[in-house]
Amino acid sequence: MSPDFHLQDFSEFGVNIGAGNLVGIQPFMQAQDYATAASFAAKLDGYLAAAKERDWLRERSIVVFPEYIGVWLAATGEKPAVCAATRVEDAMRIIVTDHPVGFVRARIRAQGQDKIRDSLFRMKAQAMAHIYHDTFAQLAKAYAVTIVAGSIVLPTPEVRGDELRPGSGPLQNVTAVYRPDGSMFSQLVRKAFLTGEELTFCAAASPQHFPIFETSAGRLAVLICADSWYPASYASLAASQPDIVVVPNNQMPLGSWHRIWQGYDPGPLPADVDPHDVGALVEREAWLKYALAGRLATTGARAGIHVFFRGQLWDLSSDGQSIVVLDGDVNMAPYVDGAALVNVWLPG
């Protein structure tokens, strides 16, 4: 069965002067897309193929996938009942029941407050890391582009011998970046500012250092979702002088994009945030004021983009729309309840 891409919009910003471009992939993911490694790869490949048809994939292209794109590889290779479940709790229960010995072993090593989620991701870490790495390495090589591979949750992973290897420490939300020849950059991006839910099963990294990736389109930095909301992240980047900052995001649930903003999760508010905005702005407005669009100028970077995860995974839904910052100007791709591709031609 061929994937259902739910592709609803193509947006383009800037002028092509040969300086390279960013291609944001806002996918629409469903549980069945994670059933096998092949189904996962086919879904992502379809979006890249659509970008290539529009002549958006070139020698100096950087493709950005959203946060958590690799997390649900925890369901890959499991019985069909896992993807057919209506609730994520039911899907997780089936996986645990089918692997009692592996789960108990992982449970002994679990370090997060949420022992079940920690144990499940820990138990599936080797398989998840392999599929994530193999998929994005092959896509980068096939399309000869740099890929910011969204994010995945693994126990203290490292890059060893051009492979992504899980460790034995606490879970971390990380992003790998792949070169056009399919090889990995040696450093991973590790999320520093976790949401309240993430804090129950993940450990935060230090916000003092975010790696810089030397690409053919310029010096690239990556902030994972909430990291883009904190002044400390931008202070670190300002010292590194990136040309481009990209932000893979996951905003849940569907409908939250237009609801009243409840402030930082879990808080407290950074000193430069107006407390009167809490309960007054809608979520979309808060993203524009306090995330990349409102803070990128402090780094000296010339371009940036937010890319959001969209889809319906069991009873989990997501929201958001791509935000583009280009030479100080802020643009938003159209809001669609589905997949979208965004192309940003970089300035010189």
**Chain segment 218-269, per-residue pLDDT in tens:** 999 999 999 999 999 999 999 999 999 999 999 999 999 999 999 999 999 9
pLDDT band at 176 (very low <50, low <70, confident <90, very high): very high
Q: How far is CA 314 from CA 31, 90, 133, 178, 207, in A?
A: 7, 9, 24, 30, 33
| Residue among 195, 323, 315, 200 at smallest CA distance from 262 | 195
pLDDT band at 15 (very low <50, low <70, confident <90, very high): very high
- What is the model's pTM? 0.97
Instruction: Count CA atoms within 13 Å of residue 346 on its CB side.
Output: 28
Average pLDDT rounded to a whole number, residues 303-315:
98
Note the pLDDT of residue 125: 98
Q: Is the pLDDT reported for residue 89 higher than 70? A: yes
What's the CA gap between 253 and 23, in Å, rounded?
24
Please say whether the structural domain 7-29+41-69+142-345 has been given the CATH code 3.40.50.620: no
Note the pLDDT of residue 1: 57
| Amino acid residing at 30 | Q
68-102: burial string, b at 16+ Cβ within 10 Å, e else: bbbbbbbbbbbeeebbebeeeeebbebbbeebeeb
Q: Is 348 helix (H, G, I), strand (E, B) or coil?
A: coil
What's the CA gap between 227 and 49, in Å, rounded?
30
In this structure, are residues 201 and 121 in contact, taking their beta carbons and an 8 Å threshold?
A: yes
What's the CA gap between 247 and 148, in Å, rounded?
9
